[in-house]
Amino acid sequence: MRTVDGAAIEANFAAVKGSISCDRVAEPETALRLVGGLLRGRCPLPDHEDRTPSFYCYPSADGFYDSWWCFGCSRGGDVVDLFAAMEGLEHNLVWAMEGLAERLGLKLWRPEDLMSETQLAVRKARRRVRRAFLDAVAEHIFERDVMPVINAVEDAGERRAFLERCLKEAGLARR
């Protein structure tokens, strides 16, 4: 089953890939020259010291350079793959896509942007329930583990100050 979160991620990948060309990402690191309809230059990837131009950006049917390949290091892909390889983010393409969008000032979809009013209301209700549960657990643990230590302090002023500090550090409002 497809989730709203998954749909937002898919929409963001499509938006980034459709609006940022590979040459735009590569050019700050390498000079690209037009050779036979392709852009060619030295590989911009930090782990490949390219002595001769082996990096190519390939245009799509509309002339947008939407893929790349380096014959020297045998890697390639789309604009997100290029940014990920340049930034060392190959392990997480979602982070790479988000980082690329941020660097170039693209606004990404949030899951909430794709939700109906009912879905938004359900999400908010679930968050309130989760927050109430976590608060209850925190209060229970505080009462069980911290209050006996606080109550062991004999001086009332010190006990009150210690209680205030413990409540503040635990993130619990005094009731």
User: Is residue 175's pLDDT more than 60?
Assistant: no
Determine the pLDDT at residue 74: 93
Q: Decide if 77 contacts 67 (C-beta within 8 A).
A: yes
Enumerate residues 6+ apart whose C-beta is below 8 A from 72: 43, 48, 50, 52, 54, 55
Q: pLDDT digit string (tens) for 49-91?
A: 888 899 999 988 777 778 999 999 999 999 999 999 999 887 8
The domains of the chain are located at 4-111, 116-170
| pTM of the predicted protein model | 0.61
What is the average pLDDT across 22-28?
90
pLDDT above 70 as % of the chain:
94
What is the average pLDDT across 29-54?
90
- Return the CATH superfamily for domain 4-111: Zinc finger, CHC2-typedomain (3.90.580.10)
Indicate the angle between helix axes 79-87 and 93-103, nearest 10 degrees.
Answer: 90
